[in-house]
A and B are shown apart, each in its own frame.
Chain A
Amino acid sequence: MAETKKKKETKTTQKVSPKEISGRITKTAENMVDQINKLQDPEFTTMQRGKSNVVWDEQKGYLELGEKEITRTFLNIAHARKFMQTALIMTKTQDYLNHNKTASIREIYYELKHTIEDTKENTFEGQDESDPIIVDLEHSVDTIREKLNLHANPKGTLYGNITLLDRMHHNDKFNASKLGRGGWSIMSRVEPEEIELTDTDAEYCLVVETEAIFERLIEEGFPKDNNCILIGTGGQAARGTRRLIHRVHNELDLPVYVFTDGDPYGWYIYSVIKQGSMALAAHSEFMSVPDAKYIGMTIEDIKDYKLEAVTEQMKEGDIKRAKEMMAYPWFQSKEWQSELKLALEQKLRIEQQALANKKLDFVATHYLPEKIKNKRFLP
């Protein structure tokens, strides 16, 4: 075994205990009670989200949430229902924290859903009503979902020579290259106090969009031959997967290379991993990897690898998306502007799996090694 890399301390989100978070929820509720008993309209304050309150910090290299706050009050016809829902989410998350339980955001939705007395109305009509309230609470008590003992559906896989320790499950210690071809399913909560990254001798972390390419690379022995770890996102990267990529990069000092389809959807997957998303701008600090590099697919690859016969036409949605992306402040680098421009000119997209057109193992034997060796990346 080669020398193991020295582990760095990762910047953990907050050193806060469940008890402290629970206390913040109590404080919020007590404020409301005080207001009500003084016959004042009770308030709930959280951060405004969405494009209007997202700031691109060029220095830090990721998206951040701005300073704008919103206050929700009960006596506002447009807020009343959400106010009620917020109170319910507060109660339930505190209950999880106090009893050391974790739940999926779908589970909390089902736990809280019931018909309101004397009405035909449900407390929540769908998960799309409870999910945003959860984010409201995260921001209001200044924490992340994971600290509220909530998690989304896990998605994403890890494979390669890296050893992990699961503190929440018998202190299991395992190497992600010894779990069969499937690798390790990345959990939605991968906080350092639960999952420890003990050591690795890998030289970099390769993130791939599609499961098919993930499996192809394992079948071809790519991680072993190239001494890297492999993370499959299966489309847009989930919170847990992004957190893990962030930790791998920061704690183990591994460069991160991202390999997606050559289309606006794939490029945005890269962008989210690198500089965060608008929806979770508040958490970019703990999730983004501003140093990440983009391998491909690029429109130039089409010419370079003679893939003209296996391109696809961009659809109307792709064109619209590409135009939007061109305008984002975090897509203003020369390289990305010219890539997007080229794509829009030719109206072409190219999938990762199109490389199979050369040969099934072409991606593992030629494409990736050449790109990485020659450092042919987009920033």
Chain B
Amino acid sequence: MSKLAEEKAPKTKKSDETGSEIIHGAAEKLEGQFKEHSVAEFFKKNKQMLGMYGKVRTLTMIIHEYVTNSIDACEAVGILPTIDVKIDELGEEYYEVTVTDNGPGISKENVGKAFGKLLAGTKFHRMIQSRGQQGIGASGCTMLSQMTTGKPVKVITGKAQGKAISLEMTIDPRHNEPKITDLKELDKEFHGTAVQAKFKGILYRDSDQGPLEYLKRTAIANPHTQISFRDPMGQKFTFKRTHNEMPELPEEIKPHPKGVTVDDIISMSKVTKGRSVSGFLSNDFDRMGAKGIEEVKKRVKFDMSKDPKQLAWDEAEEIIKAFKDIAFIAPTTDALRPITEEQIKNSLQSIVKPDFLTVMTRKPTVYKGGFPFQVEIAIAYGGGAGRKIAEETHMEIMRFANRVPLLFDQGTCALTKAVQTIDWKRYDIKDIENTPVTVFVNFISVHIPYTGAGKQAIADEDEVLEEIRLALMQTGRKAGVYISHKKREAENQLKRLMFYKYIPEIARALNVITKADENKLKVNLEKMVMQKLKLEEAKDQEELKKAQDTLASDGNSVIVDKSDKKNLKRGSKGDNVSEKKKE
């Protein structure tokens, strides 16, 4: 985790003082007083702003912070992540969370930063596909634990060389400094980091928005990760690794001129290596060639050879205005790292276990002219797909942003809207809401356009919506072929049962009245039913064959249910009928 922690650490003196971007706005009002409030104190007063509201949501967010840190730490050093999560109920709305990973471990010097110091994010967003900080970070969890229970967080961590250490950690909220106690060297070897923290005022639920669902989805979107989980009732779950290679790490790209704000320019100008504004622009922006500089020059009133560190707000505004006017080449898109069709297919098969699955990774494209993004879609049907409520199974939408599951604010999210605006009937999927189907949507970008501070819903940018819709239509067409066939097949099965169940009653009644051979009547009635259904089935088989041919020529779809097809063949043999009845 060390590398990650260092990256998150504030780099400039200024941002160290002003703290996170959330505080930035508040700071102006607080002015002089502000210095006496540390980041930690601010957190203490405003935790709901950081997504820590709702008892169930808070627990899920805690799990998210630890698990994301673990995966990032493992990926940074090329270790396939293996993560173990345990939640124990200690009392009413009182839980202990233990997360253990097999990562690189953290040195004694850095463990404080990782778990005991609330860190300020860098002022302008980095243009890199990352899981991002959707919440409060591991240190936020330490703070929350301390606030609700008064207890320290326990950490055990060990690196490849040297002995593992164990310690307890709290945060001094006034100075935002970690306080480490009970530091011990352990005799055993341990490679990774384990954190154990207690929280009150939270609640475990096995719901759509609970930790189990979060971990399941995390495993689906991170096929190179293995996650095991023990819930408070002692039930154990394991989501196995289905891909044994490390994903390529995403690259950081320079911001595209169409994707920055005035504030971004000011911040960037303070740290640029460029000696003039022209140099700053051509150095620090994507697609900014000599011609681009010329164009900007024509549109601004100030002298572009001035020191960028002296750039005034008005001047930055002029630059942004110029950027808007100028046609730049679209940003580079090769910095994005999709999960890939093959890996999504494998992980969904392993974890969701549907009867049918079709996957699509679209080519990267750009929204708002400045942000590259890419969409991955999967539609899974039957088997374990869909959301079970009581006896019925409904459609389930699994949303992800850069592989991170989005469990909340589903209604306001562009990914949901895209699914809802598809006319599924066109693909023979009637009443998709009540169909056992899982729609997987992974949105990948160097900059995710979240709708709000909660970072659980994606804004409906036109290009984003359109791209997801296109992918849904393409996969939907394939799924429709299968689903409509499957439904007819099920209807046929039902029909047969429907006729069959009445046969003994009818045969018995006619035997009582006419003394005709009851068994002969039964056999003949069954024969007639099979004959009738065979006619209907033959038509259906033909269609299935056509459908299978279509799907076979497409490597991204899988039909899993071989057992069902056996039944189908068997059912079409009239002679097996009486045998089957005996069973």
- Closest Cβ of chain B to A176, distance in Å, is 41
Q: With A and B bound together, what is the CA distance between A26 and B511 in angstroms?
A: 11
Q: Is the CB of A74 within 8 A of B505?
A: no
Q: Is the CB of A83 within 8 A of B521?
A: no
Q: Decide if A123 is an interface residue (CB 8 Å cutoff).
A: yes
- B contact patch SS: helix
| Residues on A with beta carbons closer than 8 Å to the beta carbon of B505 | 84, 87-88, 116, 123
Q: Is the CB of B509 within 8 A of A37?
A: no
Q: With A and B bound together, what is the CA distance between A114 and B387 in angstroms?
A: 36
Q: Is the CB of B527 within 8 A of A75?
A: no
Q: Is the CB of A90 within 8 A of B513?
A: yes
| Residues on B with beta carbons closer than 8 Å to the beta carbon of A87 | 505-506, 509-510
Known: A30-B514, A83-B506. A75 touches B532 (CB 8 A): yes
Q: With A and B bound together, what is the CA distance between A74 and B528 in angstroms?
A: 10
Closest to A22 in B: B513
Q: Is the CB of A33 within 8 A of B516?
A: yes
- Closest Cβ of chain B to A92, distance in Å, is 9
Q: Is the CB of A77 within 8 A of B495?
A: yes
CB within 8 A of B528: which of A36, A88, A94? Answer: A36
Closest to B581 in A: A118
Q: Is the CB of A36 within 8 A of B521?
A: yes
Q: Is the CB of B527 within 8 A of A39?
A: yes
Q: Is the CB of B521 within 8 A of A37?
A: yes
| Residues on B with beta carbons closer than 8 Å to the beta carbon of A3 | none
CB within 8 A of B525: which of A36, A116, A119, A123? Answer: A36
Q: Is the CB of A84 within 8 A of B502?
A: yes
- Closest Cβ of chain B to A7, distance in Å, is 40
- Closest Cβ of chain A to B487, distance in Å, is 16
Q: Decide if A32 is an interface residue (CB 8 Å cutoff).
A: yes
Q: Is the CB of B501 within 8 A of A74?
A: no
Q: Is the CB of B514 within 8 A of A33?
A: yes
CB within 8 A of B531: which of A39, A84, A95? Answer: A39
| Residues on A with beta carbons closer than 8 Å to the beta carbon of B527 | 39
Q: With A and B bound together, what is the CA distance between A123 and B502 in angstroms?
A: 9
Q: With A and B bound together, what is the CA distance between A41 and B498 in angstroms?
A: 16
| Residues on A with beta carbons closer than 8 Å to the beta carbon of B514 | 26, 29-30, 33
CB within 8 A of A91: which of B495, B512, B532? Answer: B512
Known: A36-B525, A37-B524, A74-B525. A88 touches B509 (CB 8 A): yes
| Residues on B with beta carbons closer than 8 Å to the beta carbon of A75 | 499, 528-529, 532
Q: Is the CB of B521 within 8 A of A33?
A: yes
Q: Is the CB of B524 within 8 A of A94?
A: no
Q: With A and B bound together, what is the CA distance between A118 and B498 in angstroms?
A: 12
Q: Decide if A172 is an interface residue (CB 8 Å cutoff).
A: no
CB within 8 A of B510: which of A32, A116, A119, A123? Answer: A32
Known: A29-B514, A87-B510. A36 touches B501 (CB 8 A): no
- Closest Cβ of chain A to B182, distance in Å, is 62
Q: Decide if B504 is an interface residue (CB 8 Å cutoff).
A: yes
CB within 8 A of A118: which of B499, B501, B531? Answer: B501
Closest to A94 in B: B513
Interface residues of A in 319-346 (CB under 8 A from B): none
Q: Is the CB of B502 within 8 A of A80?
A: yes
Q: Decide if B520 is an interface residue (CB 8 Å cutoff).
A: yes
| Residues on B with beta carbons closer than 8 Å to the beta carbon of A105 | none
How large, as a class, is the contact surface on chain B?
A: 20 to 34
| Residues on B with beta carbons closer than 8 Å to the beta carbon of A41 | 528
- Closest Cβ of chain A to B486, distance in Å, is 19
Closest to B516 in A: A33
Q: With A and B bound together, what is the CA distance between A80 and B503 in angstroms?
A: 9
| Residues on A with beta carbons closer than 8 Å to the beta carbon of B516 | 30, 33, 37
The digit string for A17-42, where 1 denotes a CB below 8 A from any CB of B, is 00000000110011011001101010
Q: Is the CB of B502 within 8 A of A116?
A: yes
The digit string for A111-136, where 1 denotes a CB below 8 A from any CB of B, is 00000111101010000000000000
| Residues on B with beta carbons closer than 8 Å to the beta carbon of A95 | 512
Q: With A and B bound together, what is the CA distance between A75 and B573 in angstroms?
A: 18
Q: Is the CB of B524 within 8 A of A91?
A: no
| Residues on A with beta carbons closer than 8 Å to the beta carbon of B509 | 29, 87-88, 90-91
Q: Decide if A81 is an interface residue (CB 8 Å cutoff).
A: yes
- Closest Cβ of chain A to B383, distance in Å, is 25
Q: Is the CB of A119 within 8 A of B532?
A: no
Closest to B504 in A: A117
Closest to B512 in A: A91
- Closest Cβ of chain B to A83, distance in Å, is 7
CB within 8 A of A33: which of B499, B502, B510, B532? Answer: B510
- Closest Cβ of chain B to A11, distance in Å, is 31
- Closest Cβ of chain A to B341, distance in Å, is 41
Q: Is the CB of A119 within 8 A of B501?
A: yes
Q: Is the CB of A29 within 8 A of B510?
A: yes
CB within 8 A of B501: which of A26, A30, A37, A121? Answer: A121
Known: A36-B521, A37-B524. A83 touches B513 (CB 8 A): no
Q: With A and B bound together, what is the CA distance between A352 and B497 in angstroms?
A: 56
- Closest Cβ of chain A to B419, distance in Å, is 34
| Residues on B with beta carbons closer than 8 Å to the beta carbon of A121 | 501
- Closest Cβ of chain A to B488, distance in Å, is 14
Q: With A and B bound together, what is the CA distance between A74 and B514 in angstroms?
A: 18
Q: With A and B bound together, what is the CA distance between A88 and B513 in angstroms?
A: 10
Q: With A and B bound together, what is the CA distance between A94 and B509 in angstroms?
A: 11
Q: With A and B bound together, what is the CA distance between A322 and B510 in angstroms?
A: 47
| Residues on B with beta carbons closer than 8 Å to the beta carbon of A80 | 498-499, 502
CB within 8 A of A74: which of B506, B512, B520, B531? Answer: B506
Q: With A and B bound together, what is the CA distance between A90 and B529 in angstroms?
A: 23
- Closest Cβ of chain A to B583, distance in Å, is 11
Q: With A and B bound together, what is the CA distance between A36 and B525 in angstroms?
A: 6
**Residue with the highest number of chain A CB atoms closer than 10 Å, among B504, B524, B527:** B524
Q: With A and B bound together, what is the CA distance between A231 and B506 in angstroms?
A: 44
Interface residues of A in 63-85 (CB under 8 A from B): 74-75, 77, 80-81, 83-84
| Residues on A with beta carbons closer than 8 Å to the beta carbon of B513 | 25-26, 29-30, 90-91, 94
CB within 8 A of B498: which of A26, A30, A77, A94? Answer: A77
Q: With A and B bound together, what is the CA distance between A41 and B528 in angstroms?
A: 7
Q: With A and B bound together, what is the CA distance between A77 and B491 in angstroms?
A: 11
17 CB-based A-B contacts, threshold 8 Å: A26-B513, A29-B509, A33-B510, A36-B525, A36-B528, A39-B527, A74-B499, A75-B532, A77-B499, A80-B499, A84-B502, A84-B506, A87-B506, A88-B505, A91-B509, A116-B505, A117-B501
The 3 A-B residue pairs whose C-beta atoms are closest, nearest first, are A87-B509, A84-B502, A29-B513
Residues on A facing B (Cβ under 8 Å)? 25-26, 29-30, 32-33, 36-37, 39, 41, 74-75, 77, 80-81, 83-84, 87-88, 90-91, 94-95, 116-119, 121, 123
| A-B contacts besides A37-B521, A91-B513, A123-B505, 18 pairs, CB < 8 Å | A29-B509, A29-B514, A32-B510, A33-B514, A36-B510, A36-B525, A36-B528, A39-B527, A39-B531, A74-B525, A75-B532, A84-B505, A84-B506, A88-B505, A90-B513, A95-B512, A117-B504, A118-B501
